Structure 1
Amino acid sequence: MIQRLNIALTPLDAALAALVDGLAPVAPVELPLTGALGCVAADMPPLKARPPCDIAAADGWALRARDLVGASSYSPLPLATPPVWVEAGDAIPEACDCVVDSDSVDATGRMFQVLAEAIPGQGLRRIGGDIAEGSVIASGQRIRPLDLLIARAAGLEKLSVRRPCLRVVTIPAATGHTATAQLISENARATGATVVLVEAEGRDAASIARAAETGACDMLVTVGGSGVGRTDAAIAALAQRGEVIAHGIALQPGRTSAVARTGKIPVIALPGAPDQALAVWWTLVLPVLDRLSSLRPRQPMTLPLARKIASSVGIAEIVLLEKIEQAWMPLSIGDMPLETIACADAWIVVPGGSEGFAAGTPVDAYMLRD
């Protein structure tokens, strides 16, 4: 049972724990290979061996290596029967275990003569050489183009994946800009999620509540209107739809964000400013999507700090980093100008109970670039 967090600023880890409490991964679906790219693989049946038999790796003559012992250009070895010519991809004839190139066999006279020795397996691709019998596309990992190559080579037409549906509700700003909602939607699609982007008719609670109808989505995100100003009504709208667990997260930037539930569906209200929304995306939205996708834990890159990080106790702060000569150089702490975001290679969050890290301290950072 989730309990409401009645404090001015809810600790970041408590807000995340409330969101994922009892949250189960979405059910797997089967998608065509082109639609599975970027999604998280679910359990797949074992693959069959590829190639299914020994095949030629290059054009040449199929022979048996032990029959060629002693063959050389100075002492050609005559063959009792003509060898079989194979081309790359052809199955190797029975009793043959190597392929020699055309220059290694003299076929100008009445009799074929071999001009070089060979070893078993030369010029071959062995059975299971590309895909071993019983291997699998690992579940819990994001499908990459190389995984699609394996699937096609194995003769698969579909893959079983987990693909959460994220409903993004953008609350119209006075400027009319929707760049932040578009940014969040693009980031979500990059994780393999299905995104339904809708815009509320107005900034009032009733309009936002109508747009926040969850329907068949697995997660709801609102963008904008999360503050306490006179025209900020996102939190009141979420209260009409379900339970607001916490409004005000101890995160900088991103203090005015909120977490809620509509039935079993997790809900996160993001501020309209792109830097604040990104901070909440990294620390709250993305971990929830990972849980829904059953994604294996993301692997950070650990490097020492080139310069110390000083942080305020009591609030988690986002730090943007640049990778310089195998060290992390802090670019900004608790503040994320757009130009700095564009230059950053990675980010970390300094926990609310920490005053920061000394120079030279190894820290785990999450990459923003491949």
Structure 2
Amino acid sequence: MTQRLPPSLTPLDTALAALLRDVAPIASVELPLGEAAGCIAAGTPLLAAHPPHDIAATDGWALTANNLVGASAYAPLPLTHGPAWVETGDAMPEGCDCVLDADAVDISGPLAQVLAEGMPGQGIRRAGSAIAAGMTAGAEGHPVGPADLLLARAASVDRLGVRRPRLRIVNVPGATTTAHMIAGIAREAGLDVKTNQAAAREEASIVEALDASSCDLLLIVGGSGVGRHDAAVTALARRGDVIAHGLALLPGRTAAVGRLGTVPVISLPGLPDHALAAWFALVLPLVDRLSACRPRRQLALPLARKIASRVGIAEIALLAEEHRAWTPLAVGDWPLQAIARADAWLLIPASHEGFAAGELVDAYPMRQ
């Protein structure tokens, strides 16, 4: 689909620098573990050692290894006292340092007899072996993942400190599919997402839907072009400030950036590929700043074939990982099937003409 463009295009670097100006990390909050997943860890608590004491790692007989030297099926060792039976996870009885299998002790006669030797620590999990005292559930500045939640639950921690930017999405009629896509990606990235629906595509309805009173970031999805029915940018200008409209970015040329009071605003195009590219190039850096996120993970692989790009325009390429190399799927404009297949994305700076086949490039995985 051909889009009418604004009369001039602002360099991506210029627009992004203006958007990030005066934006600082938001305050951290404590959230239940289920809500903390995907958010950026901030001020995570120090965990207590787990297990807090030696426990049985298997079902069996709790004994002392030094007392079992020489025991075998040919030379059973009689016990003056009956051995203690433990189940997996039970605390080890005082003085016991090994767990023998059920058939290693014969209890059929008047005296229990041990039929095998034991080693100190056999069948046991030592105190602090699963979680060392002072560990944290989640690394500061990194997303909280399933392994972090596992540590927290094992250590009986039910809340974690995180930064969770509040995102408000204004859905302009005609861009609902794209708005749903952006909302899903934002939730997966750990944002607190709420959506406002503009009643119509005209300026007054969009103005009425623009509410930044309880959010850290506002996105308008749809209506960012200069067509007869595109009013998102004029609505933003009426309520706040437009920093730039029309970016030297492919896809995503008709995106706009601005502010509503002190809240950053990004107007995303209604086309899914253009909106997603603007999400990568504009929204993610802003979310990272608000979250105090550490640099995002990149994966360096050689290109399976060359990527050509136009100087003066920042372009984003979609890549698939095949045979330990990046295979370009789409550059500039993206078919939906390319978005579905993509494993990573690559920002080609406006100063570059592209990359040669075999060149090692750092790409951002679609899912961090």
Normalising to structure 2: TM-score of the pair? 0.94
1:23 aligns with 2:10: no
Q: Give the equivalent residue in structure 2 for 1:349.
A: 347
RMSD over aligned CA atoms reads: 1.6
Letter aligned with residue 330 of structure 1: P
2:209 pairs, out of 196, 201, 211, with 211
Shift of 1:258: 0.9
Q: Give the equivalent residue in structure 2 for 1:4.
A: none
Runs (4 or more) in structure 1 with deviation over 4 Å come to: none
CA distance in 2: counterparts of 1:96 and 1:35, whole angstroms: 42
Greater CA drift, 35-44 or 322-331:
35-44
- Map Cα deviations across residues 338-357 of structure 1 (whole Å, 9 max, x no partner): 12211222211111000001
Shift of 1:102: 1.3
Letter aligned with residue 185 of structure 1: A
Q: Give the equivalent residue in structure 1 for 2:148.
A: 147
Normalising to structure 1: TM-score of the pair? 0.93
CA distance in 2: counterparts of 1:329 and 1:43, whole angstroms: 40
Q: Give the equivalent residue in structure 2 for 1:80.
A: 80
CA distance in 1: counterparts of 2:187 and 2:238, whole angstroms: 28
Shift of 1:275: 0.8
Greater CA drift, 264-273 or 233-242:
233-242
1:286 aligns with 2:284: yes
1:191 aligns with 2:192: no
Q: Give the equivalent residue in structure 2 for 1:108.
A: 108
CA distance in 2: counterparts of 1:148 and 1:241, whole angstroms: 42
Shift of 1:266: 0.9
Shift of 1:324: 1.2
| Aligned residues of 2:315 and 2:348 also touching (Cα < 8 A) | yes
Q: Give the equivalent residue in structure 1 for 2:4.
A: none
CA distance in 2: counterparts of 1:215 and 1:224, whole angstroms: 21
Local SS of the residue matching 1:347: strand
Letter aligned with residue 229 of structure 2: T
Alignment of 1:131-170 (within 5 A): 131-137=131-137, 138-170=139-171
CA distance in 1: counterparts of 2:222 and 2:95, whole angstroms: 72
Local SS of the residue matching 1:51: coil
Letter aligned with residue 37 of structure 2: L
CA distance in 2: counterparts of 1:318 and 1:34, whole angstroms: 33
CA distance in 1: counterparts of 2:82 and 2:193, whole angstroms: 63
Shift of 1:108: 1.8
CA distance in 2: counterparts of 1:249 and 1:193, whole angstroms: 25
CA distance in 2: counterparts of 1:19 and 1:47, whole angstroms: 38
| Aligned residues of 2:297 and 2:365 also touching (Cα < 8 A) | no
Q: Give the equivalent residue in structure 2 for 1:233.
A: 231
Letter aligned with residue 147 of structure 1: D
Q: Give the equivalent residue in structure 2 for 1:3.
A: none
CA distance in 2: counterparts of 1:369 and 1:195, whole angstroms: 18
Q: Give the equivalent residue in structure 1 for 2:96.
A: 96
Q: Give the equivalent residue in structure 2 for 1:366.
A: 364
CA distance in 2: counterparts of 1:117 and 1:256, whole angstroms: 76
| Aligned residues of 2:256 and 2:266 also touching (Cα < 8 A) | yes
Shift of 1:204: 2.6
Q: Give the equivalent residue in structure 1 for 2:199.
A: 201
Q: Give the equivalent residue in structure 1 for 2:3.
A: none
CA distance in 2: counterparts of 1:164 and 1:368, whole angstroms: 20
In structure 1, runs of 5+ residues without a counterpart are: 1-6
Greater CA drift, 350-359 or 128-137:
128-137
Q: Give the equivalent residue in structure 2 for 1:127.
A: 127
Shift of 1:369: 5.4
1:36 aligns with 2:61: no
Letter aligned with residue 244 of structure 1: V
| Aligned residues of 2:171 and 2:197 also touching (Cα < 8 A) | yes
Shift of 1:196: 1.4
Residues 359, 350 of structure 1: CA spacing in aligned structure 2 closer, same or farther, 3 A cutoff? same
Local SS of the residue matching 2:80: coil
- Map Cα deviations across residues 55-77 of structure 1 (whole Å, 9 max, x no partner): 11111111111111121112222
In structure 2, runs of 5+ residues without a counterpart are: 1-6
Local SS of the residue matching 1:156: coil
CA distance in 2: counterparts of 1:111 and 1:20, whole angstroms: 78
Shift of 1:139: 2.4
